[in-house]
Amino acid sequence: MIKNLFSLEGKSVAVIGAGSGIGQAVAIGTAQQGAYVCCLDINTDNASETAAMITRAGGAADAGAVDITDAGSVNDAIAIAAAKHNRLDGVVCTPAINVRKPILKYSGDEFDRVVQVNLRGNFNVLQSAGRLMVPQGSGSVVLFSSIRSIVTEPGQSVYSMTKAGILQLVKTAATEWGTTGVRVNAVGPGVIETPLTAPIKQNPDWYNAYAMKNPMNRWGQASEMAGPTVFLLSDAASYVTGTILYADGGWLAADGRFTPPGM
């Protein structure tokens, strides 16, 4: 029925990065739509607290540890998440890191660190999820890209590169797995208040400039990323794969901050 299109009732979903920020908001949002949620994070205490928040609210969740840069850790975590209901209907991966530096000041170690988490980490998750879901014949994978996948600014070279790479991973997996019943998509946030962007909030000029860049004149909240993710996990998105859903307050629609006189 149409009224149940966005329901995740009876579905089993693993949310990686569930210990804080967007990942925590997504874990709570999927649970509110009826899913059993396995809250995974490199910080097990934080993941456990998110799971406890869900269960206190009447939802179903448990928690576990995962390091997305370690393929073995990812495989183990995904296997444990799937074991709860002998299947896994959804996998969401939200973690990322950023080193804001001009290209000429970037060190090799910094480059490797950002690529290891943002690209290798997401590849590990995608590969592990696919190994389970393709034989299963169903499932939805949601990776987190960014507006930086197509627009950038000084100091964002490696981060932007990795976010564009995530989008291409999504597109390739969708083409490889489309006939198996497995869908793969990305969410592309704009500027969102999370622990990753906390340093910007401490600089009012920088924070306000970002707020005024999009037509809504404000930053997004982590909770506002739950809706787009739930959509991509749900049957409402049954014919949606290989694409990105930008949730950016209109950032990509605006070509600057100047409003001509009389407009």
159 part of the active site: yes
Q: Give the span between the Cα atoms of 137 and 55, in whole angstroms.
A: 30
Place of tokens 């600089």: 203
Residue 114 dihedral angles phi and psi, to the nearest 5°: -65, -45
CB 13 within 8 A of CB 90: yes
Structure-block tokens of residue 136: 């299963």
Please count the other Cβ atoms lying within 10 Å of the Cβ belonging to residue 251: 20
Structure-block tokens of residue 189: 């946030």
Burial class (CB in 10 A: 0-12, 13-18, 19+), 105: exposed
Q: Give the span between the Cα atoms of 192 and 98, in whole angstroms.
A: 14
Active-site pick, 36, 159, 210, 246: 159
CA angle 196, 201, 207 (to 5 degrees): 115
Catalytic residues, by residue number, are: 159
